[in-house]
Structure 1
Amino acid sequence: MEQLKSGEYRVCLPPAEERRDEVDDLISSVGALAHTLQQRFEAARQLGLIAEQVNSGLLLHEVLDHVYTGFRSLLPYTRIGCALLEPGGVVRSVWARSEVAELQIGVGYAAKIQGSSLMQVLESNRPRIMNDLEAYLTEHPESESTRRMLGEGIRSSLTCPLIAGGRPIGFLFFSSNAPNTYSDAHVDLFQQLTRQLSVIVEKSRLYEELLESQAELMRMNEQLARLACCDGLTGIANRRYFEVQLATEWRRALRVQSPLSLAMVDVDHFKSFNDRYGHPVGDACLRSVAQVLSSRIRRAGDVLARYGGEEFVVLLPNTSAEGAAQVAEELRMGVVELAIPHADSSAATVVSISVGIAGMVPTESACPGDLMQATDRALYAAKAAGRNRVVVA
């Protein structure tokens, strides 16, 4: 008794021959009490460790992994599975681990709960022992889950309902490959743990759902950002994105005094092309031109955008006007090589482009609009000179 008072629950009993008959029952009772208390304190300690890890942000599968490794001293099992209730009366496996066979009831396995034996477990709100699964399958040959468990080598199971906030959320399945593994003592032990464990599982599940929702929100925001900066027809950057990048690159070039060049591209006689071949063909033409231009713009910092209609712009940081002209000539040749017929063009028998080039090192007295105007004048000169050419301002 002094050991119990001091918190030592692993009591060693004296040999039977040294006991007095009149205290045998008392000593046995004290030993049983000590064993029970030790089990309960061990269960509470393990649950405390799990709760501590959950509160630090563990996901559901990590929590259940900890249950699998941490509950060895509390319950016998060779396999643990967890299934959660979903809307529509479906129970779905979300986690499982086993020492032996390949899992036949793995993550994603689902079944209707209505009319199943699991419904009875929820209604009783008490763990269910099945110590002879072979006999159960003989009596209930329609039980696909039992058939699968036997296929894994499982012979007995303890099915434990998880209740959080007064409502059922799912089940924990402790299973053994030996028959007659579980007893009422195991049921009583789980009953002591179920409330806290259910809350832990529910909290982890909600935390995981929150992370998934946050990830989905981030994906949607990224998609919206791409759509806001992307031209719907061609898939390249749009005018809004170009204007932001022009302002950014202008400030950077002003700060480091590096050259900044701009190419303005116009598809020659595109209105005539649309009138002859129709708008769907015209749209396909613009997409093809955009793809060719994009394939010839190789540097990471360069920006290709659709400026509007049949006009495109190419922003070339750290590039002189002469260097930009070389890039522009590659673009012009690439479009001609598409060999898209254009019967109404005075510049060529195929679709072609005119390109105006301007470049400068920004100064405090200048602005991005000056670069745009110089480029526009060069484009006008290219068109006036017969199109299908590159002109540098």
Structure 2
Amino acid sequence: MNQTAMITALPIITDNFHISLNLAQWLTSGYILVIGLITPLSANLIDKYSSRQIFIGVVGLLLFGSLVGPLTNNFYILLTARLLQAVAGGILMTFVQISLISLYPVEKRGAVLGMVALVISAGPAIGPSFSGLVMQFFSWKALFYIVSPIIALLLILGICFLPNFSEPKAVKIDMPSVMSSIIGLGSILGSISLFSSNVLGAAILLIFGILVTFYFVHRQLTLTTPLLNLRLFKKASFTKMTLIVMLIFGILIGTEALLPIFLENVNHYSSLITGLVLLPGAIANTICAPIVGRYYDQHGPKVPITIGVVLLLISSIPLVFLTKQTNIWIVIIAYIIRLIGVSTIIPTAVTEALSELAPAEISHGTAISNTLRQITGSAFTTLMILITTIPAQFVTGFHLAIWLTVICTVLLMLIAITYLRSPKKA
């Protein structure tokens, strides 16, 4: 939820800090980006330290970022606080997934990861609604104040009651891999937002990022104990399902970034009304994710993925023609359909991606999946907001950005078809 809680507040933050929307959106896309950059390191950290050390350390960091954020009137300090939250969130997300997978047997993974998917997809879905409700009565600073006591309580409970269910291992963290992953991926994603103001600089940064990322990949394939075991991509189920997770998360985060801005800037709805418009979709997502996880345990991936793709395509029809005059109930229904589609695909694809991995590979598989998912989410947020700034009219740019999600849905469908054709996947 922390990922997208700032989305509804972006128009207000742009006014308060006198900054552009393209800069303000880094409170969201930067958060997602840092989660993606820190996640490769998380698998090694989880191996290197005990479960208690990891939990207490990252929750403490999350609390620190949440307390610093509302105390400033400087945008860049606010952004730094958000990025500290993201560091903690990225490690914590991987820690929870790896812990649950390790503690539960294979036959229950679908249901367990369905609950994890509820957090992965429903959390970001609820964020804009939560933010809209808070912003109606308080300032953006309340988004930090409200979660701080909850985080503090979790920290106290962890210190008092969390048992150690993992022991530290002798893990050497390869710093060239860490630095090249951060610099390479950060440069690629940073170049996307730079294209609107400096095409040449963005192109140079993009090429530099690609070269550094290529070095990172080459190093992972040659190290005996890599930061990320990229050899897992030799397995078809992991590769194709990870691609699907990347695409569906990009579609989810991109839509959630743009729709509140449309409702507030074009329809001139308040933060509260915008949040209420998005709330039914978030609730539907929350209900569906665990149900789909249990269905997957019994019947496999074919039906959930097929239904999800169909629902995504159906929901795109009203969004690509959305105008100020569109009945608000059409927006609500389209968003509900879209998030149900997301909730049928994410738990299925996440579980299926890990289905053929050995126990020793789970931590790396989870870290890779989380990394690529978050990086795609950050890229989609930045790219879709950039697209809206290209035409003279925001509405036209919004339609173009939604068409991008349609193209990604078709690509997702093609990947799913090639995977599900296998008789054992039917």
TM-score class, shorter = under 0.3
The structure whose residues are more often strand, as a share, is 1
The structure whose residues are more often helix, as a share, is 2
TM-score by length of 2: 0.24
Higher relative contact order (CA 8 A, sep 6+): 2
Mark the structure with the bigger radius of gyration: 1
